[in-house]
Amino acid sequence: MQLGLVGLGKMGGNMRERLRRSGHEVVGYDRNKQVSDASSLADMVKRLDAPRVVWVMVPHGAPTRDTVTALGDLLDKGDLVIDGGNSKWTDDVENEALLKDKGVGYVDCGVSGGIWGLENGYGLMAGGTKANVRKAMPIFDALRPEGPREEGFVHAGKVGAGHYTKMVHNGIEYGLMAAYAEGYELLVKKDIVDDVPGAFKAWSRGTVVRSWLLDLMVAALEDNPTLDDVSDYTSDSGEGRWTVEEAIELAVPMPVISASLFARFASRQETSPTMQAVAALRGGFGGHQVMTVAEGEKLRAEARSGVRSADAATKKAARKEKAPTKKTAAKKAAKAAKAGPASPGRSGSTRTRAAKKG
């Protein structure tokens, strides 16, 4: 079968190779002339026989929308466009509408497998009409892992269902990665555990937590047992956010996936405004000394040397957060008095009204 493939990056390039190994003819287009088969989108379309199938593998958002729009002007009635990128499912509805008036079909397909898909195959989640999905089935069969079709491919539903399913898949992935990562830190912090990489490897067979993600963790630890010089800054590609947004929209409790997403946000903060506010509040109601940034960094540095030092740093921090002197306490009291009483309807006044009702 012939296929036009737009976007020949890490995944797109490997997908082209896997399809060719299966005997399909792939005409690829990429802005990078060194990897592109065609000189332009128009040249790629011209080299395909009708009815054409074109797979789009570019970044989500404007790049995908612009590519779909351009293809709409180049393709003919009966042709088919497949978006295999990480588009938001709501974009699929709009992309389908762009092509529908021109008689061009549209299928969205969530793709999982990363750089390993070339050898292992890709997990595929498609959305669209039965007729359009059937038209592209030889391509799906070549890309998915070997074995039963239903163990590597699903026609999840109407347009948008493929990317929606992939979005949920990635949300689950966030939670799984966070759980492995938290377990890693706990093992590292315990002084009786000498072989953390070995502990993870021992989980690889026969345990309920075995998975491909665990295998990747084992490989990472074998290569770098203490994760030296690995930054904790973690980005997100969008699907985790969309998953949490959908959970809110549909009132689905999702504490694990939500927490894993927020942990990624925390990893990007050199200083946490949230915890700065907590420190200031503790100083306000409990008289705990509010440390400077330099003092906090010094304690962090002391804690990095090990759990015993971490305990010592915690005790040291507690000593720093000593009770205020009489002079400091008097100053705080005067400041509070100047601010005036609490607003009506708050604190004790609320409890008084509740007591009267009782």
pLDDT digits (tens, 9 = 90+) for 236-273: 878 889 999 999 999 999 999 998 888 888 888 777 77
Q: How far apart are CA 106 and CA 122, in angstroms?
A: 20
Instruction: State which amino acid sits at residue 16.
Output: R
- The yes-or-no verdict on residue 129 having pLDDT over 50 is yes
Annotated catalytic residue 239: no
Q: For the residues 20-48, what does the mean pLDDT come to?
A: 97
Topology match between the domains 2-159 and 167-267: no
Q: For the residues 325-342, what does the mean pLDDT come to?
A: 53
137-189 per-position pLDDT tens digit: 999 999 999 999 999 999 999 999 999 999 999 999 999 999 999 999 999 99
Q: How far apart are CA 193 and CA 195, in angstroms?
A: 6
Which CATH superfamily groups domain 2-159? NAD(P)-binding Rossmann-like Domain (3.40.50.720)
Pair 243, 171: CB distance under 8 Å:
yes
- The yes-or-no verdict on residue 31 having pLDDT over 60 is yes
What ranges do the domains of the chain cover? 2-159, 167-267, 273-339
CA distances from 312 to 56, 275, 299, 308, 316 (A): 56, 21, 9, 6, 6
List 173, 246, 295, 302, catalytic entry: 173
pLDDT band at 315 (very low <50, low <70, confident <90, very high): low
Q: What is the 3-state secondary structure (H, E, C) of the chain?
A: CEEEEECCCHHHHHHHHHHHHCCCEEEEECCCCCCCCCCCHHHHHHCCCCCCEEEECCCCCHHHHHHHHHHHHHCCCCCEEEECCCCCHHHHHHHHHHHHCCCCEEEEEEEECHHHHHHHCCEEEEECCHHHHHHCHHHHHHHCCCCCHHHCEEEEECCCHHHHHHHHHHHHHHHHHHHHHHHHHHHHHCCCCCCHHHHHHHCCCCCCCCCHHHHHHHHHHHHCCCCCCCCCCCCCCCHHHHHHHHHHHCCCCCHHHHHHHHHHHHHCCCCCHHHHHHHHHHHHHHCCCCCCHHHHHHHHHHHCCCHHHHHHHHHHHHHHCCCCCHHHHHHHHHHHHHHCCCCCCCHHHHHHHHHHHC
Residues 6+ apart with CB under 8 A from 38: 27, 28, 29, 44, 47
Q: Which of 190-194, 254-258, 263-267, 299-303 has the lowest mean pLDDT?
A: 299-303
196-232 per-position pLDDT tens digit: 999 999 999 999 999 999 999 999 999 999 888 888 8
Topology adopted by domain 167-267: N-(1-d-carboxylethyl)-l-norvaline Dehydrogenase; domain 2 (1.10.1040)
pTM here? 0.80
Annotated catalytic residue 245: no
Q: How far apart are CA 68 and CA 81, in angstroms?
A: 8
- The pLDDT value recorded for residue 139 is 98
List 88, 96, 135, 166, catalytic entry: 166
